[in-house]
Structure 1
Amino acid sequence: MAKEEKKVVTEEELQANVWKLLWYNGIFSVFSSIAQLGLFDTYLFIMAGDSNTAVGWAESISGLSQIVLAGPAGILSDTMSRSKILQWCAYLSVLAVAVSVAGVSLDNFPVIYVSLFLFGTYTALQNTASFALYSDSIPQGSRAKWLSRISIVNQLGYGAGPFLSLFLLAYFGNEWKLSVLHFVLIIGFIGMIPANFFLVGLKDAQHEEEGPEASGAFSNLKYARVVPWLICGLDIITAVGAGMTVKFFPLFFKEDYGMNPGQIQLLFAVYGLSFGFFTWLCEKAAEHMGRVEAGLLFSSAGVVCLFLLAYLRWLPAVLVVFVIRGALANSIYPIDKSILMDFVPSSERGRWNAAESISSMSWSGSAVLGGYLMDAYDYRQTFVITGFIYAVAALMRLPLFLMVPRYEVSASQQALLTRMVSHEDVQSVLLASVRSRSLSVQFEL
């Protein structure tokens, strides 16, 4: 990242970055889950006259704005101060919330579309800059652990939000009425503003300014440049499938099983909290069997659960499989993110975070297709189609077995090897470890 003056950043400031971003993600996810997930989708569904297609179009506006702006956001993040970009995001959040509150209060689709565009812009800038800065603030060799932690915090927030919604619905009325949904959604939107205070006062930082690790832990390996493209590619395939299904789960339970708002919020509270537990399980699995192995195991199990969800009819079984499927699918994200960050240099993390934002938001285009399919056929038929798409993404993980070392490497371990052998020999040692899948043995010196 280009800077006019190189500043020395202390370890205390790096740790402060990490904790501020953890607090931001925790608080924001609580209120975002109230304002932008299941209840908001159902609100749009009711306001549009029970139309899944309308929900798909609304999701597409937000997502497509992120896709269009992700590239410029990545360039900005790699050429400007990432902390300054996040400060801009804090100001932009106030405008996005104000327009959202106005749109919901007036039940006005055009105003809501503008608010979705503003939040799409906010998300493109915030995701790109915050994850790049967060990764820079984490010591090399610890990214999987700390990316798992921020993911767990996020997911616990997305579980806590629906619990808070339960109390709000109990007070305002547990009915599918626009007047009831107005109050709950507006409280959710307003609650996002305090979270953005934590985006102010961050410090630009890099753990990898000097030395052989400056290019990233594994970016000197043969075929290293292929790994980020593979990660983003399988993310795109996964996101296309997710867009056809995920946004419609609340409507599936409302329409097929007659659930009321409180029941759906309780379900999504358990759903979100399960993400945190399974993310922890995936992290532990990765420590013992390797990151690629854990990713393939959890993603494949998620595919099986989605096919089961399409054919099961007994509600208790459907609920259990629904929760487990979502937890498995979401638990692998921090593992994939840690691999991506280990294979790209710090100076390119902004653009690769942007590329991943493009891939993760590509589900927005498929949300329109999902809405049409569900209106034309039914929810379960779309689940089957999504299952096959997820299976393709899982198979794309297989080449990573030949490219990604099983264990992470700390900066001190990499520096030790560099002092002992030539640069070419470092590559040979690391490549041999990839093939033998036993990198830990190389560092037991």
Structure 2
Amino acid sequence: MLQVDQDTPPLVGPSGEKRARKINVAVCMYLFFARAVQYAIASRDFLDTYIMDISSSNEKVGQIESLCGIAALIILLPCGYLADRCKRLRLLQYLAVAKAFPTLMAFIAVRQKNLLLLQVSMVLLAVVNGPFEQVLQVFLVDNTLPEQRTLFLSRKEMLSWLGTAVGPLLALLLVNLHSDTSWSVPLLQNVVCAGLVGYLFVEPAVLLLRNAHPATRDDAAGEVASLPDWTQEVKCGIRKQWLVPVWTEIMWGGTQIASSMSLKYIPLFFRQDFSMSPSWLMIVRVLENLGLAAMNFATPFISAKTGRAWAATLFIFAGAILMLGVASLHQTWLAATLFILRTTFARANVPCVQSIIFESVLPKHRGRWTAITSFKSATNGAGAWVGGYLADRTGDYRAGFVLTASMQMLCAISYVPIAFMVP
């Protein structure tokens, strides 16, 4: 069982525990939303374009992403262990405070056009942001009952993508308030710095979280008895309790590696191939993320009809087909429309696979299982490096898009056996 943080006593009695968990869920949802807004402004399209403009290298964009991924790999594994051994609430508080220093460093680096300092600050931010996201997710799962998890994880994804849609809207406002609305370095600096200042309105919400015992139907059992019966079945000589989450993580990691080869370069692709302005790119981003939010709202209903694993397989395969369409089109509105649809489908698998993993593993191991995401973070950086290399060598981003689609089709096909195993 998890230790109880004595510095933040839970509300007394069953009703107090229930109320504390409701508060925790609400605050977690706000944090997922607000962090997505901040990331969309400070660390997405404008920051990548800024790095590209001051370095004149697609490969440099990928290299920095790789460094961030490696840093996440180094820190997330021990952090996952700490999340299972220490007080998760206290860990969240420490990480929220720790983020202040690299955020300030990044602000200074962007204002001074200091690429080396910016690389260091981005690596430090990765060291803090990755563990915070993972511990926050485990904390959310701790405060939800098993039968609620697919719903709440879907709502978490929905709010995250709503935040990622609100971010471009705010960025669009900042662009139109600027005297020069083209892809100028001063515009990029101002938008990125505004996003970094958003830290002051996000991380302090951690102080509103409360201690509560993990929500479960059988706190006393805690071990194997708390898992569903299907996880104890044996397939291929391996218990599903291990086979299903490991296979799911490998497949999920493969889709993320594939995505990282192309998605980092979407703003650069639309700017280079279609001469898309910052304002129009933000409109595409808003529509993309609103579509994702709507799909994540619908995901629990779709997965209830098809099964979570089948829904994940179909979402990934559909996204791959649409990505091939993006790579082959030369009309701006068609390419943008297919890209929006591609993201809407391809990312809708996340709450399904997360729910499958959390249902298959013991509560006391959740932190370590979420730390496995660190491997995906590192390989994401490697994928971005490959995508940048291909773009520099071919003179276009479409080769990376085709490679992304091909790999994701293979991942979807490889997951079919698990779709037959998960009820």
Q: Which structure 2 residues correspond to residues 240-259 of structure 1 after superposition, within 5 A?
A: 240-259=257-276
1:274 pairs with 2:308: no
Q: Distance in 1 between matches of 2:213 and 2:267?
A: 41
Q: How does 1:40-59 map to 2 (within 5 A)?
A: 40-49=47-56, 51-59=57-65
Question: CA offsets per residue over residues 30-78 of structure 1, 9 Å max, x none?
Answer: 12100001111111111112x1111111111222211111110100100
Q: 1:5 to 1:102 in 2, by over 3 A?
A: closer
Aligned to 2:228: 217
Structure 2: where are the runs of 5+ without partners?
12-16, 235-239
Once the two structures are superposed, residues 187-246 of structure 1 have per-residue CA deviations (whole angstroms, 9 ceiling, x without a partner) of 101112321112223325312322377643354343221111011101221121111101
Could you tell me which amino acid in structure 1 is paired with residue 248 of structure 2? I
TM-superposed deviation, 1:116: 0.9
Give the AA of the match of 1:307. L
Question: Structure 1 length as normaliser, TM-score?
Answer: 0.87
Where does residue 73 of structure 2 map in the other structure?
67
Distance 1:207 1:99 in 2: 39
Amino acid at match of 1:375: D
Give unmatched runs, 5+ long, in structure 1: 406-445
- Cα displacement string for residues 119-176 of structure 1 (whole angstroms, at most 9, x for unaligned residues): 1111232122111111111111110000000110000000011011111011113121
The answer as to whether partners of 1:128 and 1:357 remain within 8 angstroms in 2 is: no
Are residue 203 (structure 1) and residue 220 (structure 2) matched?
no
- Whether the 8 Å contact between 2:312 and 2:349 is mirrored in structure 1 is yes
- Which one of the candidate residues 26, 35, 47 is aligned to 1:19? 26
Shift of 1:320: 0.9
Retained in 1: the 8 A contact 2:81–2:367? yes
Please name the residue that 1:416 is paired with: none
Residues 229 and 291 of structure 1, relative CA distance in 2, 3 Å threshold: same
| Stretch of structure 1 that moved more, 7-16 or 62-71 | 7-16
Alpha-carbon displacement from aligned partner over 1:282-338 (angstroms, at most 9, x marks no partner): 221101121111111111111110111111222221111000001111111011101
SS in 2 for 1:138: coil
1:67–1:204 distance in 2 versus 1, CA, 3 Å? farther
Residues 269 and 221 of structure 1: is their aligned pair in 2 closer, same or farther, counting only changes over 3 Å?
Answer: same
Q: Aligned partner of 2:410: which letter?
A: V
> Following the alignment from structure 1 to structure 2, what is the Cα–Cα distance between the partners of residues 352 and 20?
23
> What is the rounded CA distance, in whole Å, between the counterparts of 1:48 and 1:204 in structure 2?
48
How much has 1:360 moved relative to structure 2? 4.5
Q: What's the secondary structure of 1:142's corresponding residue?
A: helix
- What residue identity is the alignment partner of 2:289? G
The one-letter amino acid of 1:152's match is: M
3-state secondary structure, aligned to 2:372: helix
Q: Structure 1 CA distance, aligned partners of 2:5 and 2:273?
A: 60
Kept in 1: contact 2:10–2:20 (CA 8 A)? no
Matched ranges for 1:41-440 at <5 A: 41-49=48-56, 51-172=57-178, 173-200=180-207, 201-208=209-216, 209-211=219-221, 215-217=226-228, 219-222=231-234, 223-377=240-394, 378-405=396-423
Once residues 321 and 407 of structure 2 are traced to their aligned partners in structure 1, the CA distance between those partners, rounded to angstroms, is 12
Matched to 1:320, the amino acid is T
* Contact 2:10/2:211, CA 8 A, preserved across alignment: no
| Distance (whole Å) between structure 2 residues aligned to residue 149 and residue 357 of structure 1 | 23
Q: Aligned residue for 1:422? A: none
Alpha-carbon shift at residue 403 of structure 1 (Å): 2.1
- Which amino acid in structure 2 is aligned with residue 167 of structure 1? L
**SS where residue 340 of structure 2 aligns?**
helix
The residue aligned with 1:36 is 43
Count of paired positions: 404
CA distance in 2 between counterparts of 1:27 and 1:93 reads 15
Listed one character per residue, the Cα deviations across residues 392-430 of structure 1 (whole Å, up to 9, x for unaligned) are 21112112123211xxxxxxxxxxxxxxxxxxxxxxxxx
CA contact (8 A) 2:162 2:293 kept: yes
The answer as to whether partners of 2:5 and 2:90 remain within 8 angstroms in 1 is no
* Backbone CA RMSD of aligned residues: 1.7
Could you tell me how far apart the structure 2 residues matched to 1:371 and 1:5 are? 45
Question: What SS does structure 2 have at the residue aligned with 1:26?
Answer: helix
Q: Percent identity?
A: 25
Letter in 1 for 2:47: F
Q: Which amino acid aligns with 1:12?
A: R
Task: Note if contact 1:127-1:353 (Cα within 8 Å) is conserved in structure 2.
Answer: no
Residues in 1 aligned to 2:200 and 2:227: alpha-carbon distance in whole angstroms: 35
What is the alpha-carbon distance in structure 2 between the residues aligned to residue 5 and residue 71 of structure 1? 22
CA distance in 1, matches of 2:281, 2:372: 33
* Contact 1:214–1:346 (Cα < 8 Å) also in 2: no
Give distance in 2, aligned partners of 1:283 and 1:306. 24
Tell me whether 149-158 or 277-286 shows the greater mean CA deviation. Answer: 277-286
The TM-score, its normalising length taken from structure 2, stands at 0.92
Q: Distance in 2 between matches of 1:196 and 1:341?
A: 25
